[in-house]
Amino acid sequence: MKRQWTASDGQGAMVERGFETIGIIGAGPRGTDIAAYALFGRYCVILEDVSSARLDQARAHISGTLKSAVAREEIDTICGREIAANFATVQSIDKVLRAADLLIEAAPEDAEVQLEIFTIFDKFAKPYAILASATRAVSIAHLAEMTNCPERCVGLHFPGSATPDRALHIIRAPKTSDRTAQMCEDFARTLGFAPRSEIEMANEPPATEKAHFS
Protein backbone atom coordinates (compact mmCIF):
# COMPACT_ATOMS: atom_id res chain seq x y z
CA MET A 1 0.00 0.00 0.00
CA LYS A 2 1.46 3.31 -1.07
CA ARG A 3 2.09 5.79 1.73
CA GLN A 4 1.90 9.56 1.45
CA TRP A 5 2.36 12.38 3.90
CA THR A 6 0.30 15.47 4.46
CA ALA A 7 0.10 18.40 6.85
CA SER A 8 -3.66 18.70 6.53
CA ASP A 9 -4.41 18.26 10.21
CA GLY A 10 -4.59 22.05 10.35
CA GLN A 11 -1.82 22.41 12.91
CA GLY A 12 1.22 21.88 10.70
CA ALA A 13 1.85 18.33 11.93
CA MET A 14 2.80 15.66 9.42
CA VAL A 15 0.13 12.97 9.36
CA GLU A 16 0.56 9.64 7.62
CA ARG A 17 -2.00 8.90 4.93
CA GLY A 18 -2.56 5.15 5.00
CA PHE A 19 -5.34 5.23 2.39
CA GLU A 20 -5.62 6.42 -1.18
CA THR A 21 -9.11 5.33 -2.20
CA ILE A 22 -12.18 5.38 0.04
CA GLY A 23 -15.12 3.17 -0.89
CA ILE A 24 -18.51 4.03 0.58
CA ILE A 25 -21.51 1.71 0.40
CA GLY A 26 -24.77 3.65 0.57
CA ALA A 27 -25.50 7.02 -1.05
CA GLY A 28 -28.03 8.28 1.45
CA PRO A 29 -27.39 11.48 3.42
CA ARG A 30 -24.85 9.81 5.71
CA GLY A 31 -22.87 8.21 2.90
CA THR A 32 -22.93 11.41 0.86
CA ASP A 33 -21.64 13.46 3.80
CA ILE A 34 -18.81 10.96 4.33
CA ALA A 35 -17.96 11.16 0.62
CA ALA A 36 -17.76 14.95 0.83
CA TYR A 37 -15.49 14.83 3.89
CA ALA A 38 -13.13 12.38 2.16
CA LEU A 39 -13.06 14.35 -1.09
CA PHE A 40 -12.12 17.55 0.69
CA GLY A 41 -9.41 15.52 2.43
CA ARG A 42 -8.03 14.92 -1.10
CA TYR A 43 -8.88 11.23 -1.27
CA CYS A 44 -10.23 9.38 -4.28
CA VAL A 45 -13.80 8.38 -3.44
CA ILE A 46 -16.07 5.75 -4.95
CA LEU A 47 -19.69 5.93 -3.77
CA GLU A 48 -21.87 2.88 -4.40
CA ASP A 49 -25.62 2.47 -4.28
CA VAL A 50 -28.12 0.30 -6.11
CA SER A 51 -30.40 3.32 -6.57
CA SER A 52 -29.58 5.59 -9.50
CA ALA A 53 -31.83 8.26 -7.97
CA ARG A 54 -29.80 8.33 -4.74
CA LEU A 55 -26.58 8.51 -6.74
CA ASP A 56 -27.98 11.42 -8.76
CA GLN A 57 -28.84 13.20 -5.51
CA ALA A 58 -25.37 12.51 -4.13
CA ARG A 59 -23.66 13.88 -7.24
CA ALA A 60 -25.81 17.01 -7.10
CA HIS A 61 -24.99 17.49 -3.42
CA ILE A 62 -21.25 17.09 -3.97
CA SER A 63 -21.34 19.45 -6.96
CA GLY A 64 -23.23 22.07 -4.94
CA THR A 65 -20.82 21.72 -2.03
CA LEU A 66 -17.84 22.28 -4.32
CA LYS A 67 -19.42 25.32 -5.97
CA SER A 68 -20.18 26.81 -2.55
CA ALA A 69 -16.59 26.22 -1.40
CA VAL A 70 -15.29 27.99 -4.51
CA ALA A 71 -17.73 30.88 -4.02
CA ARG A 72 -16.55 31.29 -0.41
CA GLU A 73 -12.94 31.16 -1.66
CA GLU A 74 -12.18 28.15 0.53
CA ILE A 75 -10.76 26.48 -2.60
CA ASP A 76 -10.03 27.81 -6.06
CA THR A 77 -11.65 26.67 -9.30
CA ILE A 78 -8.75 24.41 -10.28
CA CYS A 79 -8.82 22.69 -6.89
CA GLY A 80 -12.57 22.22 -7.22
CA ARG A 81 -12.11 20.51 -10.56
CA GLU A 82 -9.39 18.26 -9.15
CA ILE A 83 -11.64 17.23 -6.25
CA ALA A 84 -14.54 16.55 -8.63
CA ALA A 85 -12.26 14.38 -10.77
CA ASN A 86 -11.53 12.20 -7.74
CA PHE A 87 -15.22 11.33 -7.28
CA ALA A 88 -16.96 8.37 -8.91
CA THR A 89 -20.35 6.77 -8.39
CA VAL A 90 -21.17 3.16 -9.24
CA GLN A 91 -24.04 0.72 -8.91
CA SER A 92 -21.78 -2.32 -8.58
CA ILE A 93 -20.11 -3.11 -5.27
CA ASP A 94 -17.49 -5.18 -7.11
CA LYS A 95 -15.87 -2.01 -8.50
CA VAL A 96 -15.58 -0.55 -5.01
CA LEU A 97 -14.08 -3.70 -3.52
CA ARG A 98 -11.37 -3.89 -6.16
CA ALA A 99 -10.21 -0.30 -5.59
CA ALA A 100 -10.76 0.75 -1.99
CA ASP A 101 -8.18 0.75 0.80
CA LEU A 102 -10.83 1.80 3.32
CA LEU A 103 -14.37 0.46 2.93
CA ILE A 104 -17.14 2.23 4.83
CA GLU A 105 -20.59 0.70 5.16
CA ALA A 106 -23.10 3.57 5.29
CA ALA A 107 -26.28 1.75 4.31
CA PRO A 108 -29.65 2.36 6.00
CA GLU A 109 -29.86 0.92 9.51
CA ASP A 110 -30.89 -2.64 8.68
CA ALA A 111 -28.91 -5.26 10.56
CA GLU A 112 -29.49 -7.99 7.98
CA VAL A 113 -28.24 -5.78 5.14
CA GLN A 114 -25.25 -4.54 7.13
CA LEU A 115 -24.21 -8.06 8.10
CA GLU A 116 -24.48 -9.11 4.45
CA ILE A 117 -22.29 -6.18 3.38
CA PHE A 118 -19.59 -7.17 5.86
CA THR A 119 -19.73 -10.75 4.61
CA ILE A 120 -19.11 -9.43 1.08
CA PHE A 121 -16.32 -7.18 2.38
CA ASP A 122 -14.64 -10.19 3.94
CA LYS A 123 -14.79 -12.31 0.79
CA PHE A 124 -13.85 -9.79 -1.88
CA ALA A 125 -12.06 -6.77 -0.38
CA LYS A 126 -8.33 -6.21 -0.80
CA PRO A 127 -6.41 -8.32 1.72
CA TYR A 128 -5.18 -5.25 3.63
CA ALA A 129 -8.33 -3.10 3.37
CA ILE A 130 -9.85 -1.69 6.55
CA LEU A 131 -13.52 -2.63 6.94
CA ALA A 132 -15.53 0.09 8.65
CA SER A 133 -19.15 0.79 9.43
CA ALA A 134 -20.88 4.06 10.20
CA THR A 135 -23.73 2.24 11.93
CA ARG A 136 -24.98 3.35 15.31
CA ALA A 137 -27.49 0.54 15.64
CA VAL A 138 -25.47 -2.65 15.14
CA SER A 139 -22.55 -3.80 17.28
CA ILE A 140 -19.21 -3.49 15.49
CA ALA A 141 -18.13 -6.70 17.22
CA HIS A 142 -21.15 -8.46 15.71
CA LEU A 143 -20.22 -7.20 12.23
CA ALA A 144 -16.59 -8.21 12.78
CA GLU A 145 -17.71 -11.73 13.70
CA MET A 146 -18.99 -12.12 10.14
CA THR A 147 -15.44 -11.83 8.83
CA ASN A 148 -12.15 -13.69 9.06
CA CYS A 149 -10.34 -10.44 9.84
CA PRO A 150 -11.91 -8.90 12.97
CA GLU A 151 -8.64 -7.08 13.60
CA ARG A 152 -9.35 -4.92 10.53
CA CYS A 153 -12.94 -4.07 11.47
CA VAL A 154 -13.88 -0.79 13.11
CA GLY A 155 -16.73 1.66 13.57
CA LEU A 156 -16.46 5.23 12.28
CA HIS A 157 -19.02 7.73 13.54
CA PHE A 158 -18.74 10.91 11.50
CA PRO A 159 -20.26 14.20 12.63
CA GLY A 160 -23.34 15.37 10.76
CA SER A 161 -22.76 18.13 8.22
CA ALA A 162 -25.10 20.45 10.15
CA THR A 163 -23.50 19.93 13.57
CA PRO A 164 -20.61 21.90 15.09
CA ASP A 165 -18.99 18.67 16.33
CA ARG A 166 -15.58 18.17 14.71
CA ALA A 167 -14.82 14.77 16.23
CA LEU A 168 -14.68 11.47 14.38
CA HIS A 169 -15.49 8.68 16.84
CA ILE A 170 -13.49 5.51 16.21
CA ILE A 171 -15.29 2.52 17.71
CA ARG A 172 -12.97 -0.36 18.50
CA ALA A 173 -14.43 -3.83 18.81
CA PRO A 174 -12.67 -6.24 21.20
CA LYS A 175 -10.46 -7.61 18.39
CA THR A 176 -9.78 -4.37 16.50
CA SER A 177 -6.01 -4.06 16.18
CA ASP A 178 -3.95 -1.09 17.32
CA ARG A 179 -2.78 -0.66 13.72
CA THR A 180 -6.35 -0.38 12.44
CA ALA A 181 -7.23 2.16 15.12
CA GLN A 182 -4.09 4.20 14.41
CA MET A 183 -4.76 4.29 10.68
CA CYS A 184 -8.28 5.53 11.34
CA GLU A 185 -7.01 8.17 13.77
CA ASP A 186 -4.59 9.40 11.11
CA PHE A 187 -7.44 9.39 8.57
CA ALA A 188 -9.54 11.53 10.92
CA ARG A 189 -6.75 14.08 11.26
CA THR A 190 -6.31 14.38 7.49
CA LEU A 191 -10.01 15.31 7.31
CA GLY A 192 -9.55 17.97 9.97
CA PHE A 193 -11.39 15.97 12.62
CA ALA A 194 -10.26 15.23 16.16
CA PRO A 195 -10.11 11.43 16.57
CA ARG A 196 -11.99 10.06 19.57
CA SER A 197 -11.22 6.42 20.19
CA GLU A 198 -13.81 4.38 22.08
CA ILE A 199 -13.79 0.71 23.00
CA GLU A 200 -16.94 -1.31 22.44
CA MET A 201 -17.06 -3.88 25.18
CA ALA A 202 -17.93 -7.47 24.36
CA ASN A 203 -21.70 -8.08 24.32
CA GLU A 204 -22.36 -4.37 24.84
CA PRO A 205 -25.13 -3.03 22.56
CA PRO A 206 -24.49 0.25 20.75
CA ALA A 207 -25.82 3.51 22.15
CA THR A 208 -29.06 3.45 20.21
CA GLU A 209 -29.83 -0.07 21.41
CA LYS A 210 -29.02 0.83 25.01
CA ALA A 211 -31.32 3.82 24.76
CA HIS A 212 -34.05 1.60 23.33
CA PHE A 213 -33.87 -0.85 26.20
CA SER A 214 -33.45 1.70 28.98
Q: Is residue 207 part of a domain?
A: yes
Q: Is residue 9 part of a domain?
A: no
Q: Is residue 37 part of a domain?
A: yes
Q: Is residue 6 part of a domain?
A: no
Total count of domains within the chain? 1
Task: Show pLDDT as tens, one digit a residue, over the chain (214 residues).
Answer: 333 434 344 454 555 678 999 999 999 999 999 999 999 999 999 999 999 999 999 999 999 999 999 999 999 999 999 999 999 999 999 999 999 999 999 999 999 999 999 999 999 999 999 999 999 999 999 999 999 999 999 999 999 776 777 899 999 999 999 999 999 999 999 999 999 999 986 555 554 443 332 2
Write down the pTM of the prediction: 0.87
pLDDT at res. 160? 79
Are 26 and 105 in contact by the 8 Å Cβ rule? The answer is: yes
String of b and e for 159-178 (b: at least 16 CB within 10 Å)? Answer: beeeeeeeebbbbbbebbbe
Q: Is residue 16 part of a domain?
A: no
pLDDT at res. 15? 59
Q: Is residue 39 part of a domain?
A: yes
pLDDT at res. 207? 45
String of b and e for 115-132 (b: at least 16 CB within 10 Å)? Answer: bebbebbbeebbeebbbb
**CATH code for position 134:** 3.40.50.720
pLDDT at res. 202? 57
pLDDT at res. 1? 35
Q: Is residue 3 part of a domain?
A: no
Side chain identity, residue 212: H
Residues constituting the chain: 214
Are 198 and 126 in contact by the 8 Å Cβ rule? The answer is: no
pLDDT at res. 106? 98
Domain limits at 183? 22-213
Q: Is residue 2 part of a domain?
A: no
pLDDT at res. 165? 77
